[in-house]
Structure 1
């Protein structure tokens, strides 16, 4: 047996006012390794207490687990008090897991003074150490961590690593691209053994959605760029990746913490009357990306990114709930971006980095909302026509920082400054960005690209193509503010973090402005 039967740590997630999901994995025998499919069924106990000493246990129970669910344990701990910090742990065979700390959401009708979220995405283990997670875990002021996708990566060793040479700072397990259920289970297990990620999970509840690398690059409902016919059935591969995600993540799938009852991921979480967070799944229901970057089908109303049911769900979230801030966890960028005037020598590196530019420099990114413009039109018109205020899209995916207004009409925005909301995009935790691909020193090659993009897109106020790290999103009745923090060298396990820049939107304004410093801790 491993030195601890709970070698993969503990985690919590999806906080509601009276419940929260608790997670761990037990290793009952030496042979019961992740993805092995072997090992006995065992019963694991769980406890929730009002303090770290567990002198007052308020909820407890037992969960049966075994090889059929990869010996993972996931339970919805109910009957808790709103807006309260709790401590939890798991017990099996006389052994106890590490203690986790979590927090329930405020009561639905309450008016919290603030909600503060850590924001992360794109954490490729082969590309570096998870220093961003370590620095977030050092904070003591977060209500939750919002992970916007690419929590794990599917690539094998030697693929998509650190910098121009794709060097593996750490080597993926298994030592090949993940395709089967056993593969995805082993990959999740490897990430869960990272000490920085374990510590962050143990200190703060996570709210997660997936992007593409949890299954395969540029996934859509019928396939993926990184999946070929020789790799077997896409339906089987996607089902395997979804099952492993359900087993290994502290998330309610299809509304429950039970494993195997569905793979629905889009959902809502509410933090009193201040914030409602809508999590989107922009891979499972989308039509295939267009082969050509300029194609009239981009605006075809029969093509979709969200799917009809999820679109209706999103629109209802934006108009039917009596909350101030309508926060959308958005895996891929929604702000429209055109690229005329970008230096041609920068086109291919940017495309290789984040998929923004096609080789010929044509102005659309067809993997994001720019490739499904009728869906975006429907969302923006819904916001405008219903007079919705205080909508904030928080986005990952593109390994760079962006602060954007969302123009009601891009063609007239420069004159009218009419915006239906704002978008805040976080950097990657480790995945390569522009300077990593080009090998250029920071703040050299990227500056010309960033300035050209802003010149052609006046609703884009800030871009940073060079840095990695994390963000902190702070919401109060007066404003929503994002602070970007950047780390040093990803290959340095002890890399420091420094504040970079902050942007905020004042309540009711629908536009962003730069602020001189981060929120006080």
Structure 2
């Protein structure tokens, strides 16, 4: 069950095309095709599920009760929306049903927190409004709390910038039938104005609104655009999504009191902007919010894995300047005291084979040694650090070393093994061991491992240099690995996704890359597979991908 204890990143397709992208999930293709025009009227933003429990699932949709009731408009009448959950696509065996009311106050989004379902079971769901059915979604509940499943398997993604390309990784994950859920590690949307990132001449498809997101209406509109992407629609309809946020759901390098690209005088009050961004996020994402309005929470997958999901933007102090001793200040935090205590307690009392931690930014320490001069600029832009020299990325845990020291010491001192960090943000793929003290590695053993997935579309090194992938960046890869022996693999150029498989014996990440992020029909291919065997805290290359 969820556990929050004491705390309580193609132009927009038409609605008909978006609906058609989901039709393979539904039976009776002819009948559903006949309903498509009506669905386009009422269900223009698809369906989604998320946060699976052993006995339940969260369902989501948005309805458009009138043509002017567009996202962020604040217009449109209330509408009654019925929902059904069934064991079959034809809905001959409905096991749960109910209704909710869509109102302009919630941007006509609705959620149903369904309970009373069987564990580890595939279900189908749909909504009905105005006498018409939504597309059919497919979802799955988590294993029973005391069950010992042979494995659990997740798609893993992060950093989906609309203007940078197409969301083909979502499409490839939607096509898989072997996933228990998809884990989205943040930057589901980007707040930038059009042409800021990337520059106008490299924009693949313009987003909306064209200006930087500041208001509740702005964030709602941008979320609504993302829910018209056919690949996003397909992914959400095919699998439950477990999501956390990073900075671009708010603003670049967000912290509790501001952001790099937020100027209070010109862009208003930060607390109001952050509140608006959070409200839109919880309206538009299939996520259960806590009473504190945060995304940190815990999900359990039988006796195999606990999944601890972090919020590293709501409570953090402002990033220190690179090279400043403030990175070691024990008074500065990335998690906040309450969240760090919650995480430590949850890791210590966990009785599962594996402890998975979803963190939006990298926890492994990274020093940059001697980087070729022509790579300084693009690496600095990807990592968000000064171009004069590359010491640490203070937006990661490297900028909050006391929190990291405390957490890693806790793992070591309490003998907490089989801890795996799952990370996004950095637009590169990494396979790392996590030493308690990187300076003494490998003489002191690692206390955890970390799998970092690359971006769905957001620019990485070859994009910024406008060169062929895996050419110029190879010198940078060699330099980073030479200075960081705990980094076992690094890919600076690919875009794609991961598939994480967890069994009692090992946790393995298969890293997949797509052929061209600017091609809506991009193909997918395996890049590399890495795993950590139970009891080792070591990272090793796997001979083959997960079957």
TM-score range, shorter chain: over 0.9
- Tell me the distance in 2 between the aligned counterparts of 1:245 and 1:408: 35
Partner of 1:139: 176
* Aligned ranges 1:311-460 → 2 under 5 Å: 311-355=340-384, 357-416=385-444, 418-460=445-487
Partner of 2:319: 289
Partner of 2:525: 498
SS in structure 1 at match of 2:154: strand
Pick one of 158, 176, 181 that aligns with 2:216. 181
The answer on whether the counterparts of 1:358 and 1:365 sit within 8 Å (CA) in structure 2 is no
* Aligned ranges 1:86-125 → 2 under 5 Å: 86-125=123-162
Partner of 1:236: 272
Which segment drifts farther, 437-446 or 184-193?
437-446
Pick one of 225, 228, 240 that aligns with 1:205. 240
1:57 paired with 2:84, answer no
The answer on whether the counterparts of 2:194 and 2:200 sit within 8 Å (CA) in structure 1 is no
Change (3 A) 1:231 1:147: same
Pick one of 226, 229, 235 that aligns with 2:261. 226
Partner of 1:272: 302
TM-score, normalised to structure 1, is 0.96
SS in structure 1 at match of 2:52: strand
Which segment drifts farther, 369-378 or 436-445?
436-445
The answer on whether the counterparts of 1:121 and 1:429 sit within 8 Å (CA) in structure 2 is yes
- Tell me the distance in 1 between the aligned counterparts of 2:486 and 2:295: 31
Pick one of 226, 236, 257 that aligns with 1:191. 226
The answer on whether the counterparts of 1:153 and 1:213 sit within 8 Å (CA) in structure 2 is yes
SS in structure 2 at match of 1:86: strand
Unaligned runs of 5+ in 1: 255-260
- Tell me the distance in 1 between the aligned counterparts of 2:390 and 2:239: 42
- Tell me the distance in 1 between the aligned counterparts of 2:87 and 2:292: 32
Partner of 2:283: 247
TM-score, normalised to structure 2, is 0.92
Shift of 1:404: 0.5
Partner of 1:257: none
SS in structure 2 at match of 1:4: helix
- Tell me the distance in 2 between the aligned counterparts of 1:351 and 1:166: 21
- Tell me the distance in 1 between the aligned counterparts of 2:369 and 2:534: 33
Shift of 1:339: 0.9
- Tell me the distance in 2 between the aligned counterparts of 1:12 and 1:377: 36
The C-alpha deviation readout for 1:467-506, integer Å capped at 9, x for no partner, is: 0000000000000000000001111110111000010000
Unaligned runs of 5+ in 2: 1-37
Shift of 1:165: 6.1
Pick one of 318, 323, 327 that aligns with 1:298. 327
- Tell me the distance in 2 between the aligned counterparts of 1:166 and 1:22: 39
Shift of 1:360: 2.1
SS in structure 1 at match of 2:406: helix
1:509 paired with 2:536, answer yes
Partner of 1:41: 78
The C-alpha deviation readout for 1:335-358, integer Å capped at 9, x for no partner, is: 001112122321111011232x42
SS in structure 1 at match of 2:442: helix
Which segment drifts farther, 151-160 or 280-289?
151-160
The answer on whether the counterparts of 2:165 and 2:518 sit within 8 Å (CA) in structure 1 is yes
SS in structure 1 at match of 2:202: coil
- Tell me the distance in 2 between the aligned counterparts of 1:430 and 1:386: 39
* Aligned ranges 1:474-489 → 2 under 5 Å: 474-489=501-516
The answer on whether the counterparts of 1:160 and 1:166 sit within 8 Å (CA) in structure 2 is no
The C-alpha deviation readout for 1:87-125, integer Å capped at 9, x for no partner, is: 000001111000001000000000010000000000001
The C-alpha deviation readout for 1:18-60, integer Å capped at 9, x for no partner, is: 0110000000001111100011111100000011110011100
The answer on whether the counterparts of 2:63 and 2:109 sit within 8 Å (CA) in structure 1 is yes
Partner of 2:64: 27
SS in structure 2 at match of 1:415: coil
Q: Please report the RMSD computed on the Cα atoms of aligned residues, expressed in angstroms.
A: 1.1
SS in structure 2 at match of 1:3: helix
1:467 paired with 2:494, answer yes
Pick one of 293, 307, 332 that aligns with 1:263. 293
The C-alpha deviation readout for 1:431-462, integer Å capped at 9, x for no partner, is: 00001101122111111111111111100011
Count of residue pairs the alignment pairs up: 509
- Tell me the distance in 1 between the aligned counterparts of 2:348 and 2:128: 44
Pick one of 147, 152, 161 that aligns with 2:189. 152
